[in-house]
């Protein structure tokens, strides 16, 4: 009987340990000579946080606790995953969001490179990202349909002053870009002043789903002043749901744009295998308060529907959107 009790205690202890989060602490006043495993000895960069994780390689959920303040000039190419959730979160929710400021000289704040067809499970909570050409990019392989990443979440984020107007780059194509990235959730975020200079206004989008980025949810976000079409869907990015969002002074031609590079009529398509229309997407129950310079369409579907064969379902379903202009 004692042996059974001891074994149960050991099993319970192991389960409790593996289920508790592995924590890293980041501060604007930290030092990357630290390991960041306590808030009394924090690190300062997300690059160092990734190095720590690669060194310890914990088999448990991970929480990266970010102290409030401004982090200048950071940029990270993130490759580490461990099969569990990795959460980037303020250390508390009693004050302003932590701010990552690119100063207008850096292209992208956070770039995920993961292409092995498994979930990446990155979760971002209540962080402000400003003065970058592009805020975030979730990159699978655009040429290999099975080489995706998935399961990422953006919640309560604030993306501010993103695009060519606020960077030394000539222009941006997106605040948030997904390439062969699936089953992601983008909800309750703010996209404010997502702008290129006027000559390249049509090139920028608040959210850009491209190359097999399917089954994503865009829910209850606020878009304010986006001078390109705020939502763009491209190349077999199917069954995405865009609902219950609010669009203010956003959009060049439409709030939603569906497109693919049609090699039949263009000679500048860069994907060797060609591209196809996206199908089964939904744009519903959104509040539409006008385009960047005035009245625009609710949606704009470009190129032939049947270029890659007859579609099994319509390219876009639209319902319940309310116009206030």
Query: Hey, is 164 helix, strand or coil?
Result: helix
User: Which residues of the chain are modeled with pLDDT < 70?
Assistant: 1-18
* pLDDT given for residue 8 in this prediction: 39
* pLDDT given for residue 18 in this prediction: 55
- Which helix (H) or strand (E) segment is 255 a member of? strand 254-259
β-strand partners of 179:
139, 210
* pLDDT given for residue 11 in this prediction: 38
For domain 2-323, which architecture applies? 3 Solenoid (2.160)
At 68, list the tokens.
């409030």
Contact 286, 319 (CB under 8 A): no
Domain layout of the chain by residue ranges: 2-323
Rounded to two decimals, the pTM is 0.94
Chain-wide mean pLDDT for the chain?
A: 94
What pLDDT, in 10s, does the model give residues 137-186? 999 999 999 999 999 999 999 999 999 999 999 999 999 999 999 999 99
């Amino acid at each position: 009987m004692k042996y059974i009790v001891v074994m149960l205690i050991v099993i319970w202890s192991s389960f409790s340990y593996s289920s508790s989060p592995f924590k890293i602490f980041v501060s604007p006043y930290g030092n990357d000579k630290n390991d960041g495993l306590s808030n009394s000895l924090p690190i300062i960069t997300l690059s160092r946080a990734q190095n720590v994780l690669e060194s310890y390689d914990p088999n448990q959920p991970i929480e990266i606790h970010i102290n409030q303040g401004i982090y200048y000039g950071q940029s990270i190419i993130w490759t580490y995953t461990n099969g569990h959730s990795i959460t980037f979160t303020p250390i508390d929710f009693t004050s302003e969001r932590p701010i990552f400021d690119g100063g207008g000289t850096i292209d992208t704040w956070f770039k995920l490179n993961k292409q092995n067809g498994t979930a990446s499970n990155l979760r971002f909570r209540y962080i402000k990202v400003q003065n970058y050409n592009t805020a975030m990019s979730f990159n699978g392989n655009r040429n290999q349909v099975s080489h995706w990443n998935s399961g990422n979440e953006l919640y309560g984020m604030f993306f501010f002053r993103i695009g060519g107007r606020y960077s030394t780059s000539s222009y941006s194509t997106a605040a948030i870009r997904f390439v062969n990235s699936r089953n992601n959730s983008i909800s309750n975020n703010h996209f404010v002043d997502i702008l290129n200079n006027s000559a390249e206004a049509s090139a920028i989008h608040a959210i850009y789903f491209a190359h097999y980025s399917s089954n994503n949810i865009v829910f209850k976000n606020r878009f304010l002043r986006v001078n390109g079409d705020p939502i763009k869907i491209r190349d077999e990015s199917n069954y995405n749901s865009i609902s219950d969002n609010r669009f203010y002074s956003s959009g060049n031609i439409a709030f939603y744009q569906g497109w693919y590079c049609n090699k039949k009529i263009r000679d500048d398509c860069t994907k060797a295998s060609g591209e196809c229309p996206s199908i089964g997407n939904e744009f519903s129950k959104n509040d539409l308060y006008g385009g960047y310079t005035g009245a625009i369409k609710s949606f704009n579907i470009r190129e032939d529907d049947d270029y890659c064969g007859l579609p099994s379902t319509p390219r876009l379903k639209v319902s319940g959107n309310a116009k206030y202009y």
